[in-house]
Amino acid sequence: MDVLNLAHGAFFAWGAYAGFAVLNALNGLGWVETGTLGQGILSVLLALLAALAIGGVLGLFLERVIIQRVYGDHLKQILITMGASMVLAEVIKVLWSPNNQTVLVPLSFTGSYDVMDVVINKFRVVAIVVGLAVYAGVMAVMQKTKLGIIIRAGVENREVVQTLGYNINRIFTGVFMAGAALAAVGGSMWGIFREQITPAMGDENLIFALIVVIIGGMGSVTGSFLGACMVGLAFNYVAYLVPKLALGANILIMVIILLIKPWGLMGREQ
């Protein structure tokens, strides 16, 4: 869509807080810390759903009120979405607290599996499954459906798509909402995984998202997928060996890739 949106960090944080609030409320019913496996799974699903909804609503609001005014102007997009994300982070402090919050997680989602002496964190497995499902879903919609054709065409040439009879503004609002909703789900997953959330978590994670997208190539879902794998693996390996260099290693990878492929791994020259 050719929009540089730095508010995704804020969607991420809001998703985490929405999930946190839902889990807190359900814990009041005894579903979370002391619940059955079914109640635990349902709690997590409801938390993700709440994140999806809040992300969608925030995305709708931001696109309609702010982004629509700055289509085609990258500098304004960067500045205005940065501003919006600061506001959104401050609102979190007002509604909850400026301090860390502990996320209540159903017992069935904590701890690890032991597969032949290899310890695998349970929620990591869930995260990988959800991640793959989202990737497969986005790819299927973009490549196989009429909606996907319209979106790809709209990214290339809004005007032509409009003159073919599609309300591209409305469709792009929907795409933007979907992106925000997915960022919020990611935040909610992150919160459950870490069992800790802070108002600043959006910015802390946005840097990784940006590195992932730049490495992968803007506008490419598969590129982002590859970028995410590289960033995640590199971060963890380096963090294990030399903790302080973890982020630096990612940036180094990004620099090297950009030197070789200026548009990212799967990006198209513009």
* Three-point CA angle 224, 235, 105, nearest 5°: 85
* Shortest CB 232 distance to another protein, Å: 29
Name which position in 3, 13, 103, 168 contacts another protein (CB under 8 A): 168
Gap between the Cα atoms of 102 and 96, Å rounded: 12
Name which position in 130, 150, 234, 239 contacts another protein (CB under 8 A): 150
Do residues 184 and 51 touch, judged by C-beta distance below 8 A?
yes
Choose between 100 and 157: whose C-beta lies nearer to another protein.
Answer: 157
Length of the chain in residues, anyone? 270
Residue 162 engages another protein in binding (rule: CB under 8 A): yes
Site mask, another protein, residues 110-149, x = CB under 8 A? ------------------------------------x--x
Choose between 142 and 247: whose C-beta lies nearer to another protein.
Answer: 142
Q: Which stretch binds another protein (CB under 8 A): 37-45, 80-88, 97-105, 162-170?
A: 162-170
* Shortest CB 36 distance to another protein, Å: 47
Q: Which stretch binds another protein (CB under 8 A): 49-57, 123-131, 161-169, 192-200?
A: 161-169
Look up tokens 């709690």; give the residue. 43
Do residues 158 and 170 touch, judged by C-beta distance below 8 A?
no
Residues 94-100: contacts with CB within 8 Å, 24+ apart? 95/17, 96/17, 96/199, 98/199, 99/198, 100/196, 100/197, 100/198
Gap between the Cα atoms of 216 and 230, Å rounded: 10
Widest pairwise Cα distance in the chain:
61
Residue 159 engages another protein in binding (rule: CB under 8 A): yes
The footprint of another protein (CB under 8 A) covers 146, 149-150, 152-153, 156-157, 159-168, 268
